[in-house]
A and B are shown apart, each in its own frame.
Chain A
């Protein structure tokens, strides 16, 4: 099976690889795995005034999983929390031209986005309660 040019590009030049400190203010961390194939994905967002100003990822898995998370971080930057919630795995499938056997990689990326957003929300809510 051949990877699409876009997958190869993201795989060879992954965007936003790395990580933030978990407890840094405004950082949300999503850590997900696919037990079916053993891929592991960590996706982090940095939020200021309800906008995602930066995003980073680390992925252990196949080329499609790396490309999916790399693309996800690209898309996340500059989006508001609400806009980010709307990113769907099907958008990733379309953009990267993923074959059916690799669709679960895009699902993993969507799960990672959701988990990062939820983690940010949880931290933000907690901070709110603390200041009360």
Chain B
């Protein structure tokens, strides 16, 4: 069993675009610098961000470990180090760095990381679209009416302070709800990682996998809806 949450790819090796050095044409087996001519090699565009950063597809990632890996790869690929090199090498360094930056930005944030994992594991968002949470939508639309009312009402009037109090308590409730969703997501992350660590191929494990992904999708979507209305509330009532 593989409990390793750290680097799955050994240092200086990644999935590369070609199996042959673009420059000296010697055979390559995943090194990002050719062993013979020491030229930088393009990483595969198909590389997923987890593999790119040398992490398994887990949702709990140590941010320091991720950062260390990012700096290590940055030092290898950064365009600054290729200023005196050939045009080809500069191009490769640029596109490798671009991929690396996107990978790091995506994996650094737990929510974006989960969204990305869902994309990888279950295709686009649409494929596991849940039935929309009608109650939540009604609430959001109703709240928006109150917000419009508040915006239209005269400032420092009595109506204003009544509405403000109402909106403030709505805000507190929604923020609490957002925190609950994030806590639920956190639990799903742990469940996902545990399932991956067990590495079972039973139908039970498959059902568990689908359940986790579906629930994760649901919580992530609902969190976005709630987050949007909360930020609208915050910007209106301050």
Residues of chain A lying within 8 A (CB to CB) of residue B81: none
- Decide if A40 touches B227 in the complex (CB within 8 Å): no
- Decide if B229 touches A60 in the complex (CB within 8 Å): yes
15 contacts between A and B (CB under 8 A): A31-B137, A31-B138, A33-B137, A33-B221, A35-B220, A35-B225, A36-B125, A37-B228, A38-B227, A39-B228, A40-B140, A42-B138, A58-B141, A60-B144, A60-B232
Q: Among residues 204 to 238 in chain B, which have CB atoms less than 8 Å away from a CB atom of chain A?
A: 217, 220-221, 224-225, 227-229, 232
B1 at the A/B interface (Cβ < 8 Å)?
no
Bound: A32/B221 CA distance, A:
12
Bound: A60/B227 CA distance, A:
12
Chain A min CB distance to B231 (Å): 9
A40-B137 contact given A31-B132, A60-B144, A60-B229, CB 8 Å threshold: yes
Closest to B144 in A: A60
- Decide if A32 touches B132 in the complex (CB within 8 Å): yes
Most chain-B CB neighbours within 10 Å: which of A35, A39, A42?
A35
- Decide if B134 touches A38 in the complex (CB within 8 Å): no
Q: Among residues 129 to 184 in chain B, which have CB atoms less than 8 Å away from a CB atom of chain A?
A: 129, 132-134, 137-138, 140-141, 144-145
Residues of chain B lying within 8 A (CB to CB) of residue A31: 132, 134, 137-138
- Decide if A38 touches B228 in the complex (CB within 8 Å): yes
A40-B225 contact given A35-B220, A58-B141, A58-B144, CB 8 Å threshold: yes
Most chain-B CB neighbours within 10 Å: which of A39, A42, A60?
A60
A60-B221 contact given A31-B134, A38-B227, CB 8 Å threshold: no
User: How many interface residues does chain B have, given as a range?
Assistant: 20 to 34
Residues of chain B lying within 8 A (CB to CB) of residue A40: 137, 140-141, 225
Nearest 5 CB-CB pairings of A with B: A35-B221, A38-B228, A38-B224, A58-B141, A60-B144
Give residues in A with beta carbon < 8 Å to B.
31-33, 35-40, 42, 58, 60
Chain A min CB distance to B153 (Å): 18
Chain A min CB distance to B191 (Å): 21
- Decide if A33 touches B132 in the complex (CB within 8 Å): yes
- Decide if A60 touches B140 in the complex (CB within 8 Å): yes
Residues of chain A lying within 8 A (CB to CB) of residue B141: 40, 42, 58, 60
Closest to A33 in B: B132
Most chain-B CB neighbours within 10 Å: which of A37, A38, A39, A58?
A38
Residues of chain B lying within 8 A (CB to CB) of residue A32: 132
Chain B min CB distance to A2 (Å): 22
Residues of chain B lying within 8 A (CB to CB) of residue A39: 228
Residues of chain B lying within 8 A (CB to CB) of residue A33: 132-133, 137, 221, 225
Chain A min CB distance to B76 (Å): 33
- In the complex, besides A36-B125, A60-B141, A60-B144, 18 extra interface pairs with C-beta distance below 8 angstroms are A31-B134, A31-B138, A33-B137, A35-B125, A35-B221, A35-B224, A36-B224, A37-B224, A37-B228, A38-B224, A38-B227, A38-B228, A40-B141, A42-B137, A42-B141, A58-B144, A58-B145, A60-B228
Bound: A58/B139 CA distance, A:
12
